[in-house]
Amino acid sequence: MIKDEISDIYVVLSENNLLGDDDGPIVFEQFVRTASLENAKRFVSRLEPNYGKCRIAKLVFVDMGETI
């Protein structure tokens, strides 16, 4: 369940995948409980040497459903 105390969720996107095929940018899986901006920045520093340019995005829910 996504708990109410988690206010902001950040994910990391990279311009390439490690397989080297040309499918374009990907979004990495992230545990919600550790999806802080600080953790995303650390993740980017580990990814960029192999995955190319990375960006951090803030997750925004667009549905009106119940909390999962």
Alpha-carbon span 68 to 66, nearest angstrom: 6
User: What pLDDT is attached to residue 38?
Assistant: 96
User: What pLDDT is attached to residue 27?
Assistant: 92
Position 63 in a domain: no
User: What pLDDT is attached to residue 30?
Assistant: 87
Total number of domains in the chain: 1
Position 44 in a domain: yes
Position 2 in a domain: no
Domain that holds residue 21: 10-58
pLDDT digits (tens, 9 = 90+) for 20-37: 666 778 899 989 889 999
- SS3 for the chain is CCCCCCCCCEEEEECCCCCCCCCCCEECCCCHHHCCHHHHHHHHHHHHHHHCCEEEEECCCCCCCCCC
Position 65 in a domain: no
Residue-by-residue pLDDT tens, the chain, 68 positions:
555 556 799 999 998 887 666 677 889 998 988 999 999 999 999 998 888 899 999 998 887 766 66
